[in-house]
Amino acid sequence: MHAATRRTCAQTTRSGDLIDLSAIGWKEAALVALVILAGYMGYALVRLSMLNARRTPEAEQAAPPPPAPVPVQAPPVDLQAELDMLLDARLAPLMQALETRLDLIEDRLDGVSRRLETVNQLPPVAPQYSEALSLAARGLSAEDIAEQCDMSVGEAELVRTLAQSRGMGDRT
């Protein structure tokens, strides 16, 4: 069995001697790979320098000159006017739609600004009623608010009315 293992891990050289490949560690394998890579890099650099040496100024001078640029003439005035008219015809509906959207957005922004000013002008809510006000804004009934916040149903109804007047709660 030892001989079979030895035959699988070994290579036969020309002279018939066996080289034990299992004795080569990762450091030796990395060194061999590095030497091979360095050799290849040297070969590639030599080939590149040979290619650059072949290029001479004579070869560059022998190349035909680039063709002269063709002067671009301005399109006739009628064609330019026709293109402008077509462009205006295509852009006019788009511009109208954008203006409509912009007006709608401005109206919404004005509404939000007015509401914000109204809210800023209202007196602040007492801290003991802030939870009740948030519950009213979520649409809870006066009885539920009274039960959760430990207050009377009348106070809870007042908080609901306050929330509705501020535009926070349901108007049911």
- Residue whose entry in the numeric block shows the structure tokens 């064609």: 79
> Which pLDDT does position 9 carry in this prediction?
47
Mean pLDDT, rounded, for 105-121: 86
Residue with tokens 């939870």: 131
How far apart (Å, rounded) are the C-alpha atoms in residues 96 and 93? Answer: 5
**What average pLDDT does range 89-102 have in this prediction?**
90
Residues 6+ apart with CB under 8 A from 49: none
Per-residue pLDDT tens for 147-171? Answer: 988 899 999 999 899 888 877 766 5
Predicted model pTM = 0.30
Question: How many Å apart are CA 144 and CA 151, to the nearest integer?
Answer: 10
Nearest to 146 by CA among 162, 163, 129, 121: 129
Look up residue 165 and give its DSSP letter. H
Q: Confidence class of residue 18 from pLDDT cuts 50, 70 and 90?
A: low
Contact of 13 with 20, CB cutoff 8 Å: no
